[in-house]
Structure 1
Amino acid sequence: SAEEARAFLEKLKAILQFIDVSDCKMQEGSLRADVNLSVRPKGQKEFGVRTEMKNLNSFKAIVRAIEYEAKRHVEEIESGGIIYRETRRWDDDKGISYAMRDKEQAEDYRYFPEPNLPPIIIDDEWINSIKKSLPELPDARKQRYIKDYYLPEYDANILTTSKVLSDFFEKTLQHTDNTKAVSNWIMGDLMRILKERELEVDEIPFPPEYLANLVSLIDKGVISGNIAKKVFAKMFDSGKEPEAIVKEEGLEVVTDEDAIKEVVLKVLESNPASVADYKAGKTKALGFLVGQVMRATKGKADPKLVNKLLVQELNG
């Protein structure tokens, strides 16, 4: 199927990256794929006539091309038409393929031995020596992430789809022990921003250490999770350290109990209906009130302290 072809190519791409054969940037021509496709009626042993589409430059285009060409073959055969052995061009904008030239038979290529290229004998000893020299491959690294870092298989799969991404993850862990938090940031906000800004992983404008520092700021309670998202976006904009951004923007978590209590009292006064709901046993009202306090403090109040003070006032 088209999705099986995509899965195969994604695995191949990862392996090529991990052994440093290529950066596999398809948009730059480092990796391309030809699609050779034929169909046959169910139960027929012989393969159908094959067509080829050359130099596809994205996995998305490959999937679309396979789906289109398979459908074209089926419709042509079922309508009594003939599939010709030919090379076709895939037009990704229009979502169609069209014939370029007839496909040559083997004899048309006029193969002959090249006298300047001697035979190369590849023995088992040489093959085994190459195997031993290979670096850690994607599947092995994935299993290590699951075993050593206790990551879910889903996380490990995502993090090992690209060597550059995997290396970024590992370098980040050199500066923090919060493995799951780093994984979540990479799979969530980092991948989202890269997609939105059409950037590659190797174009991240800050070093892995900065992501580790951001995670540490959250763990230490210096900033909240919501504020961290804003800081992370600004890291992409400026390339600055998260500590510098927090200081410049005044984003530290407010832990002054008196200051937060003042906001809490104002929120309670402004929301009598929610106060009544809470006292009537509707505990969801507390979440609403917490949200109002956080909004009033622009997300900078310590959420735990906000919750504590609200409960004290509501139950007092």
Structure 2
Amino acid sequence: MPTLTALSPEILAKYQPVIGLEVHVQLLTESKAFCGCVNKYGGEPNTHTCPTCLGLPGALPVLNRKAVEFAVLAAKAIHCEIRETSIFARKNYFYPDNPKGYQISQFDKPIAEGGWLEVPTAEGGTKRIGVTRLHMEEDAGKSVHDGFMDSVNRTYIDLNRCGTPLVEIVSEPDLRTADEVFEYLTKLKEILLYTGVSDCNMEEGSLRCDANVSVMLKGAKEYGTKAEVKNVNSFRYIRSAVEYEIERQIGVIEDGGRVVQESRLWNQGEGRTYSMRSKEQAHDYRYFPEPDLPPLVVGAEWQAEILKDLPELPEARRARMEAEYGITPQDAMTFTATRAFADQFEAAAKKAKSPRRVAALLTSEITMRVRAAGIEMEASPVSMDGLVLAADLAESGELSSKMLKQLLDTAFANGEDFLAVYEREKPQQISDTGAIEAMIDEVIAANPKQVEQYKGGKKTVAAFFVGQVMKASKGQANPAVLNQLVAAKLDQA
């Protein structure tokens, strides 16, 4: 097989990648899917367990109502149709972190099907990616492998995660590039965070993704053999893993080989995938209906009650904010990065005289100081109410740009809110024309050379006089009034 770097653009262009994603999302319920154990990451191993999630004889599952509501919210947010009656099944397999010997999941009748997400394309448009299904299931435990301290390899089992409620979101094989994969996952995570159904923390395993990757010659009618890429813990790494796998498979075919259906692991340190296990034969999970759970019925009335909690989603919110507040698409994207921040901005925008002024201060003066301080926006000492006051004072002309910057500098230097700084210092902008004219007269009298330059046609020298008056007024002269009066005085000189 040729090395990946040896594959020419001409060879790569002969093939069409085909990618589908399976995304597992842990739901943010207080208790587990089928028992009352706490649903919380971490803790001492095997302490968040009970006979039900351990699969002990005689223990019966009881479905978590909140998990159903979260599944419906997530499904509707990605445009799925809710199945009124869905069925839980037993997915049978043996693995040490699955003490029951089966996983409660959904198979032929999942809770939701037929959704979609739109992702941006390289050409500047959008592309719709189909969502085949969203189904509910429970998580397995966690295997911890330890063989670094001595020559003996050990595997420990932590069953705290057993029974954690999940939804699995399966895309259609509509993705064609690693960039589309990245955009799809980014969009999906943003939507899930907005709905509040999950914290989507990949480091803690709240969101996990497997990518099914295959390639085929362009124009071919059948998809190629797929490999499933697993064990990738960031979207950036998933993009790299998919890029590698596409080129690996093309290299195999170009070298006369055959792509093997298998699971592969991504090694970020080496920047490549490794074979994990063969999947030449489909695993027989022997699905059958879960005998201890009745059919799940989510009727129209319950759906309507659940969907009252469906928030305005990011894309729609951005469009509305642009129209309502007159802000730029880039600012709307920034302000809707999280639901909480969007709520805070909107609350401030509705109080302020000028929402655009609030947006401008937030993206320039506040963001600049937050970055310089090395803190997150949430840690800014200037509250949204302080930002509204600053924006209103600037909009009314009561504070010049220089005065505003000085007050913000003080706020960040002292860790104080703008409200407190302004109340203590209360600098007043000078707008009285008589007072400003008196200062202009003094500056003109002291600088005859510059006056002659102005009269000689060098109009830009007016900025010199504005600067001198600003200096004399300690930055408190109203800039608009000052500029107008300087021009009038010089024309008369």
Question: Does the pair score TM above 0.5?
Answer: yes
- Indicate if the aligned counterparts of 2:229 and 2:241 stay in contact, CA closer than 8 A: no
Name the SS of the counterpart of 1:87 in structure 2. strand
The question of 1:44 aligning with 2:223 is answered no
Q: Tell me the matched-pair count.
A: 310
Name the SS of the counterpart of 1:156 in structure 2. helix
Residue aligning to 1:138: 314
Match of 2:484 among 296, 308, 315: 308
Structure 2 vs 1, CA of residues 198 and 65 (structure 1 numbering), >3 Å: closer, same or farther? Answer: farther
Shift of 1:208: 1.6
- Which structure has the higher relative contact order (CA within 8 Å, separation 6+)? 2
The question of 1:99 aligning with 2:268 is answered no
Scaled by the length of structure 2, the TM-score of the pair is: 0.51
Give the alignment of 1:167-246 within 5 angstroms: 167-194=343-370, 199-232=375-408, 234-236=410-412, 238-246=414-422
Name the SS of the counterpart of 2:344 in structure 1. helix
- Indicate if the aligned counterparts of 2:318 and 2:333 stay in contact, CA closer than 8 A: yes
Q: Which amino acid aligns with 2:221?
A: K
Between Structure 1 and Structure 2, the one with more helix by share is 1
Structure 2 vs 1, CA of residues 171 and 155 (structure 1 numbering), >3 Å: closer, same or farther? Answer: same
Structure 2 vs 1, CA of residues 6 and 185 (structure 1 numbering), >3 Å: closer, same or farther? Answer: farther
Between Structure 1 and Structure 2, the one with more strand by share is 2
Shift of 1:210: 1.3
Scaled by the length of structure 1, the TM-score of the pair is: 0.74
Deviations along 1:89-135, whole A, 9 cap, x unmatched?
252xx582332623546744745445444443445554454334423
Structure 2 vs 1, CA of residues 29 and 237 (structure 1 numbering), >3 Å: closer, same or farther? Answer: farther
In 2, Cα distance between equivalents of 1:27 and 1:236:
32
Return the index of the structure with the highest Cα Rg. 2
Shift of 1:52: 1.1
Give the alignment of 1:111-130 within 5 angstroms: 112-113=287-288, 114-123=290-299, 126-130=302-306
In 1, Cα distance between equivalents of 2:204 and 2:475:
42
In 2, Cα distance between equivalents of 1:236 and 1:118:
59
Structure 2 vs 1, CA of residues 284 and 81 (structure 1 numbering), >3 Å: closer, same or farther? Answer: farther
Structure 2 vs 1, CA of residues 207 and 243 (structure 1 numbering), >3 Å: closer, same or farther? Answer: closer
Structure 2 vs 1, CA of residues 128 and 55 (structure 1 numbering), >3 Å: closer, same or farther? Answer: farther
Identity across the alignment (%): 31
- Indicate if the aligned counterparts of 1:53 and 1:90 stay in contact, CA closer than 8 A: no
- Indicate if the aligned counterparts of 2:266 and 2:272 stay in contact, CA closer than 8 A: yes
Residue aligning to 2:191: 15
Q: Which amino acid aligns with 2:197?
A: V
In 1, Cα distance between equivalents of 2:481 and 2:318:
39
CA RMSD of aligned residues (A): 4.0
**Structure 1: gaps spanning 5 or more residues:** none
Q: Which amino acid aligns with 2:387?
A: L
In 2, Cα distance between equivalents of 1:177 and 1:13:
34
Shift of 1:150: 4.2
The question of 1:257 aligning with 2:436 is answered yes
**Structure 2: gaps spanning 5 or more residues:** 1-176
